[in-house]
Chains A and B, each alone.
Chain A
Amino acid sequence: MAQHKVNYTQDGGLPVALTSIDKIVNWGRSNSIWALTYGLACCGIEMMASGASRYDFDRFGTIFRASPRQADVMIVAGTLTKKHAEFIKRLYDQMTEPKWVISMGSCANTGGMFNTYATVQGVDRIIPVDLYLPGCAPRPETLQYGVMLLQKKIRANEASRAQKAKRLM
């Protein structure tokens, strides 16, 4: 469990830390990844489960937002069909930079078991994807692991430099 009482005397006295701008910005970004609720199919249920009591996503600073304008990461959870494809593009465009995309589950990765006329074969045909989570459906643990990897990725980036927009084309 987390230690709730902050012990200021622990690491040499005062509550002051010296760091670079990069680190502090990345610290903020990586620990408050707000996700867009993008539950499309079965994986959306596991995404809800990871937000609910047992898996408790709030610990990671990940809070689900219903608006793309407040979200940092889009968790594409489920099958993307050709009818829906244009909306994912619209919503992705509405998100503010910097933004990341997690493709959750086989359907979003590659079309998965639905190798049919109506399914987009991989969400990366529409929007750029940062992280692919395998599984059908991935367990909530997989999503947690994915978010932690994404945090690591965010920390590895330079925050102060102007963000380069991610583009599929």
Chain B
Amino acid sequence: MRAYTPKDDVQAKAYYTDRFYVSPQVPKQKPESDEVFNADLEAIKAKFEVTDAYIQVEQLVIYINANDIYGVLELMRDELEYTQLSEMSAIDWLAKGNKFEIFYQMLSMNKRKRIRVKYFIENGQAVDSVEKLFRSADWSEREMFDMFGIEANGHPFMKRILMPYDWQGFPLLKTYPLQGDEFAAWYEVDKIYGKEARDIIGPELRDTAKVDRYDSERFARLGHEVPKGTKITGNEPKNEQNYQEDDGVFMIKKFDKKDSVVIDDPQR
């Protein structure tokens, strides 16, 4: 029987996992264990609903509702001194619950603290743009759209940023293969030469493990290069590569190895 490969997640999988293996957890602390974080959390809790909060690896993680994000970040920026949005992006949980997890990494320079604000959205749902609060979200949200297809409401320029505008598919989805789909494979050929050139140029060579003994170029073996198309027997002598032809070059002095100097200490 052929092994079952899930269609909703085509990323690399561990080829062997012990059935009885239970992975440990990164320890979580209660928010009360840190005074500064606790005060911040109480301030957010007073106005918005916080579904979960804990400290993990020295940073506070809070889960909020998707609709509150603008309000929470505004509160954090204006009253809690979290002046910088370091990073924001999404995590694909489509295979597990048809949802995305969005995280915002906040930094307070006065308190020297970092908080991660997170929430879940359904597949197809848009997020609220925080571009008005933090200009850095302008590009982050575009990148999120480019990679996951999550749109941001109220964003001034919701277009792809890293991939070309005419690209199809969202690369960081778990359903998108690492080496691209059919569209990606022929993108540059179709665009430059047209579809009819596919046969002439041929498919991409994607097999990293492929070793061709009769590869006509063999640029990995210096001194054993052969012209393109030559049949290789495998026991050609090594041909010494000279920079100049044997009978000399017109108007150029012949390089003599004996006259050259090797510098031992470059910093002399």
Chain A residues in contact with chain B, CB under 8 A? Answer: 3, 17, 19, 23-24, 26-27, 31, 54, 82-83, 85-86, 89, 109-111, 115-118, 120-122, 125-126, 132-134, 145, 148-149, 151-152, 155, 168-169
Contact = CB atoms under 8 A, between A and B. Distances in A.
A115 B188 contact: no
Contacts of B200: 169
Interface of B: 163-164, 171, 176-181, 184, 187-189, 191-193, 197, 200-201, 204-206, 208, 217, 219-220, 241, 243-245, 249-253, 266
A83 B177 CA distance: 18
A118 B171 contact: yes
A110 B253 CA distance: 37
Given A82-B164, A132-B217, A19 B250 contact: yes
A125 B184 contact: no
B164 A89 contact: no
B65 to A, nearest CB: 34
Contacts of A151: 243
Contacts of A54: 266
Contacts of B241: 145, 149
Given A27-B251, A82-B184, A121-B204, A169 B191 contact: no
B189 A117 contact: no
Given A110-B205, A120-B188, A121-B205, A115 B171 contact: no
A121 B249 CA distance: 37
A125 B188 contact: yes
Closest 4 CB pairs of A and B: A117-B180, A85-B188, A121-B204, A148-B243
A132 B228 CA distance: 12
Nearest to B185: A117
Contact of B176 (A27, A117, A169): A117
A6 to B, nearest CB: 11
Given A134-B219, A169-B193, A82 B179 contact: no
A169 B197 contact: yes
A3 B219 CA distance: 35
A121 B206 contact: yes
A147 B200 CA distance: 30
Contacts of B184: 82, 117-118
Nearest to B251: A27
A115 B208 contact: yes
Contact of A134 (B163, B176, B220, B249): B220
B168 to A, nearest CB: 11
Contacts of B201: 125, 168-169
